[in-house]
Each structure stands twice: as structure tokens, then as C-alpha cells.
Amino acid sequence: MKNFTSELSVGAYLKAGANKTVRTLSQLKDLYSNREEVNRILENEDPVLYEVFEMPPSPKETDLLVNITVLHAGVVGEEPFMTKGHFHQDPDTGEVVIGLKGSGILLLQNRKGEIQEFPVEEGKVSYAAGGWGHRVINTGKEDLHFLAISGANMIHDYETAVKLNFKSLPVENKERISANE
């Protein structure tokens, strides 16, 4: 096990040895309902939607994952960039999300299909309890940076998230976005 200290920034995380995972539109095109728009964008480029900076870099089961995600600002049709979203399983543990910069929402869904949403912005902490799948959506106009902390002993379950499909964006947020424009 390796102890560390770092400023809460991407640059500091990289200096501390963080692993970086990049997610592009071509990897996540099924998240977006406007297929024509997905194809139109991909004809010209494959934009990076988000990057995850993972600390500690080689976690053991007894560690915590203390990751910074940078979710870029942008839309695919009417839907803002969002993370893939997943459940935790074996064990089905909780997760803390702390906004660092920008603004967005933490969209939660449990296995019964119930939905909740919480803010992701500087100065706010939101908590996804065990049993709640989680996706972050950037509803703002700048990149959204957030810290997510969970137990490294869980397995990511992306399949259940795909089956339940969250709601890609709650209606009230669609209104909020057009009101901002």
C-alpha cells in the first residue's frame, strides 16, 4: 500500500503518478439517442468526452479509489456529455462525489429503476449509497472536474447500467440548459 498527498488538480495527480483513462465518443456512442448526430460528429472527429485520473495508480482490494474525472463541456444533439455510468457489485458499495470545478448532476438509479439526482459543483459533496448506479452529466458550459471516492474492492458493473439506461437527462435539466443559452 502506498500513501500519498496531492493537490486536487489534474496536473498534481499526474505528477503523483496517476493512471489516465480516456473515453471518446466512438467508445460511448450508444449512450446518445441522436444516432444521426453521433455519426455526423464521428465523420469529422472522435472527440474526447472525459478523462479519468486514477489514484492510487495500482490499487489493492483494501485501498480506496480516489479518482479525478474531467468531463468536458459539449453536447451530442441535445444531450450533454456524460459518463458511461455503472453500478458497483461484490460488494455493492457507496461512492462520494465532490465537485471541484464546473457544474453538473450526479444521476442515480437503483436496480428497481428509481431515479434521483444531486448536484456536482465546487463546494458540494453528493453521496451515492450502495445499490445506486451513478452517472455524471456536465450540464454547464465549462469542463466539469470532480473527485470520486469508492472502495477498490468492488467490481464495476456497466451491464446493469446499460440495461436500466438511467434517463439520459431529466427533463428539468433540458430546460435548465436551454435557459442558459
d(CA 29, CA 42): 9
Residues lying near ligand PA5 in the complex (CB under 6 A): 52, 65, 67, 69, 83-86, 95, 136, 148, 150
Beta-ladder partners of 95: 128, 150
Q: Does residue 139 contact residue 121 with C-beta atoms inside 8 Å?
A: no
Instruction: Using alpha carbons only, give the angle 39, 145, 21 rounded to the nearest 5 degrees.
Output: 60
Q: Cell numbers 472522435 label which residue? A: 46
Which range in 5-13, 15-23, 71-79, 88-96 contacts Mn ion by CB under 5 A? Answer: 88-96
**Interacting partner of 99 out of ligand PA5, Mn ion, none (Cβ under 5 to 8 A depending on kind):** none
Q: Binding string, 89-108, against Mn ion, x = CB under 5 A?
A: ------x-------------
Return the half-sphere exposure (C-beta side, CA atoms, 13 A cut-off) of residue 46: 8
* Neighbour tally for 144: CB within 10 Å: 27
Of the two residues 75 and 115, which places its CB atom closer to Mn ion in the complex? 115
For ligand PA5, which is the closer residue by CB, 84 or 174? 84
Q: 83 vs 138, which CB is nearer to ligand PA5?
A: 83
Q: Which of 39/165 has CB closer to Mn ion?
A: 165
Is 54 a binding residue for Mn ion by CB under 5 A? The answer is no
Cross-strand pairs, 82? 137
Query: 138 is in the binding site of which of ligand PA5, Mn ion, none (Cβ under 5 to 8 A by kind)?
Result: none
Residue pair 147/136 in contact (Cβ under 8 Å)? The answer is: no
Residues engaged in binding Mn ion (CB under 5 A): 95, 150
